[in-house]
A and B are shown apart, each in its own frame.
Chain A
């Protein structure tokens, strides 16, 4: 891998495929290999402040993390107009696209497979002391051969000590853990687990599980579904900066959850419950999740190559049979 100016002309940008607040994404090719790549060009609107912090972190962490379930950083270069370009492996689909496409049928083994790959990628992050902090279906990309890969490390950071302050303003609202909603400045990998638990629920429901309209509503929606945290179930919760128990909702009964997730087996429900514990210290970590009986229960996870997928541009679905 070369990270210098001489790689300048080694890539061609062919088509703009996406635009975010801080970057434009193109599909392109690595010239010498003809490999298809995604090129994320960082906007320099805030040029006054130099290199974008998110971009620096994304490069740093993706260089550290090499894993089948984490997007591969191929190269970094500065274009002649001084813009920063991240060359990433090209992944044509993401989980959000699939969840929204009602013509695609999810089998329970498919959901298990996506959850498993998400947890493997996340486990790799956490064991390298990196928090992702922006997990959502839209950031779980799918390769043509069905592999799921964690992407968008722009909010990621290293963790390691209880002394440091972390910003609670992370994670897209619907996937934000209760400790973040309460403004905690010290949190752990449990915030990522929460997000995965909510994604797990969304895969089963095929609609967002906790779609808060704004930050205040998010608290209400979250606690309506999962109960309001109290000192009893989460010691010291009331000392968090934005703790607020205006409305105290009871914890949902097993039966209520069963009704909501009618297709889930007991083991699936158990795992989801442990990933969405209100008290972060009671939430499962990635190791415990990966060892869960749910993954040993029949039907086993679909092998990646047999998973449904589609490319975000066209609409060719890949699963041939739904048998």
Chain B
């Protein structure tokens, strides 16, 4: 299976703890923080809590989060290695990435004043706006996310999806061959019965499809597989994705834009 297909599956997944893990780790790796005085750090909510709260309040979906992840990665490459931030720098950086990602991808995105509210008083509206501006300038307005970059950033997730699907495919194949073996056995039986009973040819004819039917009914179902296949092939048109953010701009837009 290709990375593109794995990406499509991944983009439909619900936001998971593992995604939060990688967001936290990446944000932490963007910049180092000078140790704040004790009383300050007790007030400061942990980055993980902060991120979880933003996700909860904004109902932001996987594609938007993962685009933010790409921006965080880019920022790490842009900032000088010896850059040092203060207590809330990482929080600001994360929020700014998320805002820009949401604004570029979704038709109905929370406004900055809503985002400010979601920080629970940690940041002011001015802080949020400033962080957004600084980030977009540091990224030099390069907001397009090519598929290649996504594949690199999301590598661990994609590998697992590909492995899972391969295993499922193998199990399916085993089941299929088993099924054919058994149905051959059955139809051979019914064929021989046709030969033997000359007078009741119609009934035996009816009996062979019905035994076939029974077999299908008794075969274990694999609903997961059935669901995943149409999802994978949904994009039946002959285009290839130029920009992976296009793939990622999925997911129901959570809330209406309050004008």
**Chain A residues in contact with chain B, CB under 8 A?**
3-5, 47-51, 53, 56-57, 59-60, 63-64, 76, 78, 82, 127-129, 157-167
Find out whether the CB atom of B140 lies under 8 angstroms from the CB atom of A129: no
Sample of 10 more A-B contacts, CB < 8 Å, known A78-B137, A129-B241: A49-B113, A51-B103, A56-B104, A76-B141, A159-B246, A160-B250, A161-B234, A164-B106, A164-B252, A164-B253
**30 sample A-B contacts, Cβ–Cβ < 8 Å, listed by A number:** A3-B140, A3-B141, A4-B140, A5-B137, A48-B112, A48-B113, A49-B112, A50-B99, A50-B128, A50-B129, A51-B103, A51-B132, A53-B103, A53-B109, A56-B143, A59-B143, A63-B142, A63-B144, A64-B242, A78-B133, A78-B137, A82-B133, A127-B239, A128-B242, A128-B243, A157-B107, A164-B249, A165-B107, A165-B252, A165-B253
Distance between Cα atoms of A6 and B110 in the complex (Å): 32
Closest 9 interchain pairs by CB? Answer: A50-B112, A129-B246, A167-B107, A50-B129, A161-B250, A49-B111, A49-B112, A160-B246, A158-B246
Q: Which residues of A contact B245 (CB under 8 A)?
A: 158
The CA-CA distance from A59 to B108 in the complex, in Å, is 18
- Give the A-binding residues of B (Cβ under 8 A): 8, 11-12, 99-100, 103-109, 111-113, 125, 128-129, 132-133, 136-137, 140-144, 234-235, 239, 241-243, 245-247, 249-253
Chain A residues whose C-beta falls within 8 Å of the C-beta of B109 in the assembled complex: 53
| Inter-chain contact B12/A163, CB cutoff 8 Å | yes
Q: For A4, A50, A59, A82, which residue has the most chain B Cβ atoms within 10 angstroms?
A: A50
Q: Which of A59, A128, A160, A162 contacts B141 (CB 8 A)?
A: A59
* Residues in A whose Cβ lies below 8 Å from that of B241: 129, 160
Q: Chain B contacts of A158 at CB under 8 A? A: 105, 243, 245-246, 249
Smallest CB–CB gap between B133 and chain A, Å? 7
Nearest to A161 among chain B residues (CB) is: B250
Are the CB atoms of A50 and B132 closer together than 8 Å? yes
> Are A129 and B104 interface neighbours, CB within 8 A?
no
* B125→A48 contact, CB < 8 A: yes
A164's partner among B8, B113, B142, B251 (CB-CB below 8 A) is B251
Q: Is the CB of A160 within 8 A of B242?
A: no
A63 to B103, CA, bound (A): 16
Q: Which A residues are in CB contact (< 8 Å) with B132?
A: 50-51
Closest beta carbon of chain B to A67's beta carbon, Å: 13
| A170 and chain B: residue at smallest CB distance | B107
Q: Which of B99, B104, B137 contacts A4 (CB 8 A)?
A: B137
A21 → chain B, closest Cβ, in Å? 12
Q: Which residues of chain B are near A127, meaning CB under 8 Å?
A: 239, 242
Please state if B143 and A161 are interface contacts (CB–CB under 8 Å): no
Q: Which residue of A is nearest B249, CB measured? A: A158
Q: Which residues of A sit under 8 angstroms from B105, Cβ to Cβ?
A: 157-158
Known contacts A63-B141, A129-B239, A160-B250: does B107 contact A166 (CB below 8 Å)? yes
By a CB distance below 8 angstroms, the chain B residues around A82 are 133
Q: How far is the CA of A59 from the CA of B143 in the complex (A)?
A: 9
* Docked pose: A64 CA to B243 CA in angstroms: 9
Report the separation of the CA atoms of residues A163 and B144 in the bound assembly, to the nearest whole angstrom.
Answer: 21
Pick the most buried of A49, A59, A64, A163: most chain B CB atoms within 10 A of its CB: A49
- The answer to whether A163 and B252 touch across the interface, beta carbons within 8 angstroms, is yes
